[in-house]
Amino acid sequence: MVDARAKRILFRTYWSHGWIEDDERSTPPDDLAYAMAQGVMFDPVSWSHDESVEAVQAFRERSFAQRVGAVFVASLSSRRLDLRSALASWSMIEHVASHPYVGAGHACNTCRDARPDAELVAWRTSPDLDLNVLSFERLKWGGVRHDQLDYARFDLERFALTEPVLPTPTDRDLFRTVLDTISAVPETTTAGGLVRALKPALPGTAAEHRALVEILGASGVLRPGGPDRPEHARSDWGASGQWRGGDRYDEQRVHLLLPAL
């Protein structure tokens, strides 16, 4: 369980009725030391592509996939958002085998092409990476940057330190309700429409539901029917941007990641 005081310190650093501007963010030294001791805030780091690719290799086993799937379901009734996004992070690095940086630009071509249905952004280097903003997004919404190798590494490393949590019957019922909702929406429903459809079915805010839909998209549970479909209009949707209600959900992916259901 995330320490409540450390979480408040982190949230006060970044959020006050909306994002706090970069030049207005500050954390009292004693508070920062406490939150760092609890594993909620961190010093900046400098990660290279090759280091991060090697770091995520330990998480690619299928048994780890089933663990993140079970914990994802366990997050539904408790709203333990720190448990939720590892499902997306594992899915984004599932096919990322060990390899050196490839490409002339700032992002690796091999990482980008590891999955046919989603692009993973992996920079050559990430100097002075602010892990605290990643921690904030992970704890407040269940993550935002699901398409970035830096986030996947951070998320999975934090997840690996978490005590195992098993889904309850209520959690399993909630996930079946999520699947039933996906199956019942009109065929033209967009990702935003699915967020609205989930409101009466699932505890949480609209922002949490949006993150959940993105996690289902990044994990391949929501898989768009065609690569040329226009993305969700006037939106910054990621993996779920091309999904429509008629695509429903990928049953094979559910059985792989969530076999107990």
Cα torsion 195, 196, 202, 205: sign:
positive
DSSP at 23: G
Q: Is residue 185 part of a domain?
A: yes
pLDDT tier for residue 231 given thresholds of 50, 70 and 90: low
Strand positions, DSSP E, 71-187? 125-129
Q: Is residue 9 part of a domain?
A: no
Assess whether 136 and 68 both reside in one domain.
Answer: yes
Share of the chain above pLDDT 70, in %: 95
Q: Is residue 206 part of a domain?
A: yes
Chain segment 47-69, per-residue pLDDT in tens: 999 999 999 999 998 788 889 99
Assess whether 49 and 156 both reside in one domain.
Answer: yes
User: What per-residue confidence (pLDDT) applies to 233?
Assistant: 54
The answer to whether 122 touches 53, Cβ cutoff 8 Å, is yes
Assess whether 141 and 219 both reside in one domain.
Answer: no
Q: Is residue 36 part of a domain?
A: no
Is the predicted pLDDT of residue 232 greater than 70, yes or no?
no
The answer to whether 230 touches 244, Cβ cutoff 8 Å, is no
Question: How many domains does one find in the chain?
Answer: 2
Q: Is residue 246 part of a domain?
A: yes
Chain segment 64-105, per-residue pLDDT in tens: 888 999 999 999 999 999 999 999 999 999 999 999 999 988
Assess whether 142 and 98 both reside in one domain.
Answer: yes
Find the mean pLDDT for residues 163-187. 94
pTM exceeding the 0.85 threshold for the entire prediction: yes
Owning domain of residue 202? 169-257
238: exposed, middle or buried (C-beta count within 10 Å: 0-12, 13-18, 19+)?
buried
